[in-house]
Structure 1
Amino acid sequence: MKLDFGFIWTAFIALLPAVPTALAITAVSVFCGLIIGTAVAVIRLYKVPVLYPIASAYVTVIRGTPMLTHLFIIYFGLPMLIDGAADSLGLSFRSVSIPMIGFAYISFSITAGAYMSEVVRSGLLAVNRGQIEAAYSIGMTTFQAMRRIILPQAFAASLPNLSNMVIGMLHGSTLAFTVSVVEINAKAQIVATTNWKFFEAYLAAALLFWGLTFLIERLTALAERRFNLYNRGGVS
């Protein structure tokens, strides 16, 4: 077997149109997951009545089951709920109107939320308790202290783990092909079927993922340096 370097380049170029789809899945899931995870982390940290057991169960169940399983449950279960609700309310809307990538957005956001909650919670625990006590001493409410003092420091402390989550969700976006979303890996399979050079096509996909991962790592390093400047008082 001879490696076709020319086809690796051809496949690499052919895979580029699928990059926006992978990035969109990653961005939406990380953004929504961060919102969900922050809310869940605060609920668990402060043991909010009624919501605390629900939040704990959510994290335990989602982290204890595979990402692909979440996707299938959403893909097959959500249409049943939507169509059932539409029938009972007399609406004409049907689940077939939802684009396939929408199921990936919902599923991956739910998955990311559970993992993000642990990342944010660890960041919150890293912030000195005296910070919020100092905020109370100058008349801030808990919400003001969290928004202006605690959460920014928690996110700064969590930045390496947040970066790992972004990379993990980028790689996890390859599962979207199971619900007919053409992301990078699915595109590689399509490209390879033209001449059955699957090794070269997937090698091109691997190089593309490596490049995107390297870019995320570099952006994280820049963000960390920026936060360190603020922490040292180097930026006014």
Structure 2
Amino acid sequence: MTLDPSFMWTAFLSLFKALPTTLMITFVSVICGLFIGTVVALCRIYRIPGLSQLSTAYVTFIRGTPMLMHLLIIYFGLPILIDSLAAKWEWSFTSASIPLIGFVFIAFSITAGAYMSEVVRAGIVAVDRGQIEAAHSIGMTTPQALRRIVLPQALAVSLPNLSNSVIGMLHGSTLAYTISVVEINAQALVVAANNWKYFEAYIAAAVLFWGLTLLIERGSGWLEKRLNAYHRGGVM
């Protein structure tokens, strides 16, 4: 077997067809996961009765099981739940109304939420608690102190780990092909199957993922410098 550089370039260009799907999966899962993770982290930090225990169980289960397992459970389990409720309440909406990528969004958001909750929790804990007490002394409520003082500083502290989570979700998006969602990995498989040149196709996919990872790392580094300059009183 010989390497075919010309086909590698052809495959690389073909992979851009699936790039929007990969980026959409990553973006939606990261944004939803960050929201879920923040809520879960706050429930655990402030030990809200019931929610604290539920949040701990959620994080423990998700972090203790594979990402692919989450996708398959949602893909096979959610339609059973939706269709049973639709039959009981005579809904017109059924699981058939959900696009395949919708299952990916739900499953990966749940996965991202568990991992990001630990990142957010570590960032919040790293902020000096005296700042919250100072905020209370000038009349701020706890939600106001969190929104205006704690969370912005926690974001700056957590940014390196958050960028790692984004990269992890980008790479994890390749699992979407298991339920027939055509992202970069699936597109590489399609291109390779037509020509039986799997090696070249997967090298092209690896290069594309590498480039995307570098962009995330550079963007994270730039944002981290800006946030640190802001918190030191520098000019934005």
* TM superposition score normalised by structure 2: 0.99
- Map 1:117-196 to 2 at 5 A: 117-196=117-196
Give the whole-Å Cα distance in 2 for the aligned partners of 1:206 and 1:174: 11
- Map 1:1-236 to 2 at 5 A: 1-235=1-235
CA-to-partner distance for each residue in 1:17-57, whole Å, 9 max, x for gaps?
10110000000000000000000000001101111110000
Letter of the structure 2 residue corresponding to residue 25 of structure 1: I
Letter of the structure 2 residue corresponding to residue 167 of structure 1: I
Give the whole-Å Cα distance in 1 for the aligned partners of 2:228 and 2:149: 16
Gapped regions of structure 2 (runs ≥ 5): none
Cα RMSD of the aligned pairs, angstroms, is: 0.7
CA-to-partner distance for each residue in 1:168-226, whole Å, 9 max, x for gaps?
00000000000110000000000001110000000000000000000000100110110
Give the whole-Å Cα distance in 2 for the aligned partners of 1:65 and 1:234: 43
CA-to-partner distance for each residue in 1:151-183, whole Å, 9 max, x for gaps?
110011000000000000000000000011000
Secondary structure of the structure 1 residue equivalent to 2:199: helix
* TM superposition score normalised by structure 1: 0.99
Secondary structure of the structure 2 residue equivalent to 1:2: coil
Q: How far has the Cα of 1:134 moved from its partner? A: 0.8
Letter of the structure 2 residue corresponding to residue 4 of structure 1: D
Moved more, 84-93 or 116-125: 84-93
Q: How far has the Cα of 1:92 moved from its partner? A: 2.0
Give the whole-Å Cα distance in 2 for the aligned partners of 1:124 and 1:94: 40
Letter of the structure 1 residue corresponding to residue 117 of structure 2: S
Give the whole-Å Cα distance in 1 for the aligned partners of 2:224 and 2:156: 8
Give the whole-Å Cα distance in 2 for the aligned partners of 1:17 and 1:186: 11
Q: How far has the Cα of 1:235 moved from its partner? A: 2.1
* Count, aligned residues: 236
Please identify runs of 4+ aligned residues in structure 1 that moved more than 6 A: none
Letter of the structure 2 residue corresponding to residue 197 of structure 1: K
Give the whole-Å Cα distance in 1 for the aligned partners of 2:233 and 2:42: 28
